[in-house]
Amino acid sequence: MALVNLIGLMDHARRNKYGVGAFNVPDYETFQAILDTAVAKQSPVIIDVAEVHLKYIDLDDVAYVVKRAAERAPVPVALHLDHGEHFETIIRAVRAGFSSIMFDGSHLPFEENVRQTAEIVRICHACGVSVEAELGQVLGGEGTSERFEADPSVFTDPDEAVEFCARTNIDLLAISFGTAHGLYRGTPKLDFDRLDAIATRTKKPVVLHGGTGVSDEDFRKAVSLGITKINYYTQTSVTAVEATREILAANPDLVSYPLLLQQTREAIKKVLAHQMDVFGSAGICARFPDICIECDACTVPNVSLDGVADTGGHAYQHAPASAPADRSDKLTDDDVQTLIDAVTRAVLKGLNDA
């Protein structure tokens, strides 16, 4: 199935009280680990490509790879531009086929954030692309051993959140309520009352950024209060680096780079699988057949990423037990695209009429 955007997926997550992991892809090994895990856990997944990571991976190339893989994956897959700060990058992502984008204007004054976000929404919605925006500031940084903590003075104000959502027509709202990007100094103290107020009053899917350091218990509580998208990257990176060190220490004569990557990927998959369990997204494709209206991926033949039909043992085999054996009525690619276009127009009309 083609990529899904986040409008329907986040609505489904909000109604059924689970969160979907948005995992950053700075390289193709990480992407493979994410998709393999999502399929094994029967979980929807968001592939995040951060603008700051475009020095490691090409935007157009990764869009092509993810789109091709999504066609064969029997779970909903969204391709999302993470922390897009430049208009040019956002337009490039839309043209490349990203199904969702985040415009991060959190560093701007409120009125300017509203103005720029609303313009991005108008453009992206015309293309069937969902939009996430941020209000308040999630501090910190990535790619460094320095540790950070949250600053309550820049937490998201619930009154401003209501106004921001109404004036911009965004689909998801990223908020600041106690997390930080990168490694956290100490233990995050999440402001759950603030989260509850924002989710209740805006009636929007709410996004948690800076997931590293948050306890499993706090993740579950955040999801119960309205968090539907959870950005998770730093711990994945830390796991990969630590696994690489351990593998090389245990095998000092190792000279096979592909074998090193393969073993590191397995370590990443364990972390991702645990997080999908904690977020509540594991097994969603089996437990909630109505999610198929967003995806319909299980109508795709069981074909592996190299184009060879699966006969057993490959990760890309899942189909729900209730799937009919005769797929002769499977929609053609043109039928699917026509349906997507019709649904997108209906959704956008509903948003504009709201």
Cα separation, 317 vs 39, in Å, equals 8
Catalytic residue chosen out of the listed positions 48, 82, 196, 218: 82
Name residues whose C-beta falls within 8 Å of residue 150's C-beta, 6 or more positions apart in sequence. 138, 139, 176, 178, 179, 180, 188, 189
Give 306's DSSP letter.
T
Asked if 137 contacts 108 with a C-beta cutoff of 8 angstroms, the reply is no
Q: What b-and-e string marks burial along 266-283, b requiring 16 or more CB atoms within 10 Å of the CB?
A: ebbbebbbebbebbbbbe
Helix and strand numbers (H, E) in the chain are: 12, 10
Known active-site residue 82: yes
Token duo for residue 309: 């039909």
Tokens of 342: 């019709």
Distance CA 36, CA 315 (A): 6
| Percentages of the chain per state (helix, strand, coil), in multiples of 5 | 50, 15, 35
Please name the amino acid found at residue 111.
Answer: E
DSSP 303: B
- Catalytic residue list: 82
